[in-house]
Structure 1
Amino acid sequence: MSTLAITSQSERTADADAVSSRAVIRSAQDVADIVNAGAARGSRARIVIAIALGGVFLDAYDLTSLAYGVKDIAREFALTPVQVGFVSASITFGAILGALFGGYLTDRIGRYRVFMADMLFFVVAAIAAGLAPNAWALAGARFLMGIGVGLDLPVAMAFLAEFSKVAGRGNKAASVAAWCPAWYAATSTCYLLILGLYAVLPAHQLGWLWRVTLAFGAVPALVIILVRSRYISESPLWAANQGDLEGAARILRRSYGVDAVVEHDAAAKASAPRAARWRNYGVLFNAAYRRRTILAATIGAASSFGYNAIVFGLPVIIASFLKQGPLTTIVASLALNLLFAFVGGLIGVRTAPTVGAWKMTVLGHTLQFVSLVGLALIGHPESGAFVALAILLLGGYLFGQGFGPGSHAMTYASLSYPTSLRGMGVGFNQTLVRSASTVSLFLFPVLAAALGTKVFWVIALAPLTSLAVLLTIRWEPSGYDIDREDYAPAA
């Protein structure tokens, strides 16, 4: 029987057309080489990636769905600004806890089991939030929803990275960056749903908008649960790292379109399982990973702090600028998301394999900083020209987020670590990111009430901080074979 040795760099980075129909597996490294070379035509790898992005869609939808209805919630439950901040931030409190445990569980028990568990969180929490009789019940449901969000991102990023090749169009960096347009598609879907409900509901029933919007989050989660058994499977890289070469071969045959065969006696000689341990969080700060961990954490936290303040406050900001009714506010928010954030996210995916993550993140943060300074200087625009400029600057911020830190915060979090550490790396990153989100969502209503448009000066500190760290640590994850570090430790 002829064998296929996929070991050279050129073979690992070849297009999927060059992948043989048969591959012999002798070690976990062979599994990584097969994955890094690319899936065969007609495989289910793209479907797995699409389902993982569906989880990201849910994360974004659930985090965004409260943004428009916060005024109605405050009025219905008679909440103070501090109480509004608490209800708004409850989902990120849950996400902090979910990310901390989700990263560990993703590496410990596998990607598939965690992914399916967090879908159940989404279904239960979305329905409970839509039916909440008071603010405390709403905060509790959003907290539970946040646990689902925290569980999902480490496993979704693992699927995106571990079903993609190393280099070329559609590489790991591009697949991970695709989380960004998926995120903005979700926020746009949220606004489209609100717009549709606004059009059909009578004026005296518009107070129900926020309830329907929150409960709708259960629908896509149920769809994912229904299709999971047919298309999605465990990550072959995770299975191989657990010493299960036969399992990895089955996954490659089923989902990757590669006729993988384990060499006789190779399974018996497989390396000991790389079991996740809590102390692996400390490994993220050893000599090999410390700088990457700091860089990924800074980009993620800065991006999250600024983005959540802007996006959560977008309806309020636009209403203040335009001085129009809710319909104009909804349409303007939708247009900004589609024309700037979503388009920027697509550009981030397209440029990931060529320009790289570092340059695009620097460029995006620079545009964000300039936009926020401009918004702070304009304040409350009085003339039509300044209103148009303020809206354009908001669009500039979202555009920079889309192709820069929005796309690549997760690129850095996911591709700075090999398979054995990826779940915990993303989990730790998301714990910090969601902490920043919590601070942002809690403080924005309070700071906006106290400072007005001067709050943009505070938000501008986020991209400025991230820029300083990026210029100090110039790590480029796109095109780098990170999984090889599981078998040949980085220098």
Structure 2
Amino acid sequence: MQSTIKIRGIDDVIAFIDSCPGIKGRAGLIWWLALGGLFLDAFSNSALSAGLGPMTRNLQLAASQVALLTSFASWVAIAFNPIGGWMADRWGRIRPLIIAKFLAVIGALLVVFAPGFEVILVGRFFVGAAYGIDFAIAMAVLAEFTPVRLKSRLNTWQGMWYTAVCSNLLLALLFHSWNVGDAIWRYSVAATAIFGIGILVLQLAFLVESPIWLARKERLADAAKAMTRIYGRPFVAAPVEERLPVLNQAKRGLANVLLIFRGVYLPRTVLAATVQIGQSIQYFAVGWYLPLISAALFGKDFVYATVGALVFNVFGILGGFMSPLIGRKLGLRRASAFGFAAVFVMLLILGLFNGKMPIWVAVIVPSLFILFHSGGPGANGKSLSSLSFRSELRAGANGIIGALGATGAALGLLIFPLFREKYGLETTFLILSVVPLAASIICFAIKWDPTRTTIHPDNEADAPQFGGDEAPAPAFLNPAIEKSQR
């Protein structure tokens, strides 16, 4: 019979999770179900991508309507990212995740049965709300169930994203074979509703509240019960007199979130936000429109354009599932910096030589764009924000930084069709190349990397807090702090 483990505070919870050899059992199931929610987010966001051309013809949409339709969910996510973070910090991780799945299913059903453009916008509102809430929280859940030595595994979500995109493209080819015509986009969105219901049922059945969040809230009895359910071993809260105090426990909502812009947290916020915004603009301005770009390269036949986009996105799966290894070898910061630099080169090539390249080069360059994006900055913005802050700041930080990323996504989705119509495809690529160039420079300049420090964010004694001394200077302004974080 296993001996009962006494939980004196959050340090004991973290120590046990970090001592685990892997993420197995109920913890592994929770981890993959959180990833499954992110798969649904990607599936929902890319459902219209494969059928965008047929939808444009089917509904006779103008370029401005296409720009609004494709970017609307991201604009909504800007508001709901911080709302999701607030919900998670106040109510816990599980209830908001379930709410997000309900919203995703409602949004998908509205789009499937929409009679016209306006109702589709309403449906995309619900999709954007679900996306904003879910991503802020799911990444926090992944971080709180991952042992410290496996931090870079959070980047697995990027591989799941491209798996979802490729699944949509394969389904689009299947639906095309049914001769459904330009209504094919409704079938893709219907598949989203079906998958959403499935992941909702599984999350309702198996998710357990994060023990780190519970312990951070000084709910040790609940944390012990949660750990017993998750790890299959007996845990019990220590008597009150034996409990350890929680460092830097914050008491106020908005002011608590604003701590991410102070002290040692400021450079982490700048880094994570830079990666998040940069990767969002470059992906949603280029990667999301790959079916249209593929059609421009290989002709407007639906099958050829879809197969071309599928080939490109397979490289996303490869890069996404390689990103944990790349992050472990280079660190999340340097992996982002080098990835942005490589994406900059690919956009330059597309801008300068598109239409002049042999067909095999025309296939390789967009494929490498996706590979470098997914293997580097594509995954790292959300991972950086999830690993750089203590528990009661984590979801809120993900929400704020996620909102900035959603702004980048919305801008990318909005400007690509407008710029393409006004300036042409090649000039649009050249304009967009400025984004990864600037992001790469910033990533090289800031030295913080959560995979290159032994200090757990929940145990930082020098983190900003309420009352007491003023917070330390930002790491990039304080050589002593910067050196200790390398």
TM-score by length of 2: 0.90
Equivalent residue for 2:132, pick from 150, 156, 159: 150
Q: Which residue in 2 is equivalent to 1:308?
A: 284
Percentage of identical aligned residues: 27
Q: How does 1:39-188 map to 2 (within 5 A)?
A: 43-167=25-149, 171-174=150-153, 176-188=154-166
Task: Work out the CA distance in 2 between the residues paired with 1:209 and 1:323.
Answer: 19
Distance in 1 (CA, whole Å) between partners of 2:58 and 2:22 is 55
User: Offset of 1:23 from its aligned partner?
Assistant: 2.7
- Deviation at residue 281 of structure 1 after TM alignment: 2.7
Give CA-to-partner distance per residue, 1:408-446, whole Å, 9 cap, x none: 121112111111100011000111111111111111101
Structure 2, unaligned stretches of length 5 or more? 464-471, 473-486
What amino acid does structure 2 have at the position aligned with 1:144? Answer: F
CA-CA distance at 1:341 after TM superposition? 0.8
Q: Deviations over 1:156-199 (max 9, x none)?
A: 001100011001xxx1221x211100111110111011011112
Q: How many Å apart are 1:72 and its aligned residue?
A: 2.4
Residues in 2 aligned to 1:357 and 1:426: alpha-carbon distance in whole angstroms: 16
1:406 is aligned to 2:384:
no
> In structure 1, what is the equivalent of residue 398 of structure 2?
426
For residues 378-397 of structure 1, what are the structure 2 equivalents within 5 Å?
378-381=353-356, 386-397=358-369
TM (norm. structure 1) is: 0.89
- Once the 2 structures are TM-superposed, how far is the Cα of residue 22 of structure 1 from its aligned partner? 4.6
Aligned-partner SS, 1:354: helix
Range that drifts further, 323-332 or 157-166: 323-332
Kindly indicate whether residue 254 of structure 2 is the aligned counterpart of residue 278 of structure 1.
yes
The equivalent of 1:444 in structure 2 is 416
Q: Helix, strand or coil for the counterpart of 1:128? A: helix
- Pair 1:41–1:460, CA change in 2 (3 A): closer
3-state SS, counterpart of residue 24 of structure 1: strand
Please list, as runs of the form range in 1=range in 2, the aligned pairs for 1:332-481 lying within 5 A after superposition.
Answer: 332-338=308-314, 340-381=315-356, 386-452=358-424, 453-478=426-451, 480=453
Opposite residue 122 of structure 1, the aligned amino acid is: A
Tell whether the 8 Å contact from 2:165 to 2:313 is kept in structure 1 after alignment: yes
Q: Do 1:103 and 1:426's aligned partners in 2 also have CA atoms closer than 8 Å?
A: yes
SS at match of 2:25: coil
Q: Which moved more, 1:20-29 or 1:412-421?
A: 20-29
Given that 2:50 and 2:168 are in contact with CA atoms closer than 8 Å, whether structure 1 keeps it comes out as no
Match of 2:211 in 1: 236
Q: Deviations over 1:280-327 (max 9, x none)?
A: 232111012111111111111010001011122211111111125110
SS at structure 2 position matched to 1:489: coil
**CA–CA separation in structure 1 for the residues paired with 2:371 and 2:97:** 30
Deviation at 1:26, TM superposition (A): 1.1
Choose which of 455, 462, 468 in structure 2 pairs with 1:489. Answer: 462
**Inter-partner Cα distance in structure 1 for 2:293 and 2:243:** 62
For residue 469 of structure 2, what is the aligned residue in structure 1? none
Structure 1 unpaired stretches of 5+: 1-19
Counterpart check, 1:189 vs 2:167: yes
RMSD of aligned C-alpha atoms?
A: 2.1
Separation in 1 of the partners of 2:301 and 2:139?
A: 39
- What secondary structure does 1:66 align onto? helix
Q: 5 Å matches for 1:227-266?
A: 227-265=202-240
Q: Distance in 2 between matches of 1:289 and 1:317?
A: 39
Shift of 1:465: 1.1
Aligned with 2:171: secondary structure? Answer: helix
Q: Which amino acid aligns with 1:489?
A: D
Residue pair 2:80, 2:132 contacting (<8 A) in 1 also: yes
Shift of 1:224: 1.8
Letter in structure 2 aligned against 1:152: D
| Matched residues, number | 462
Distance 1:269 1:418, change over 3 A: closer
Question: What is the distance in 1 between the residues matched to 2:275 and 2:399?
Answer: 15
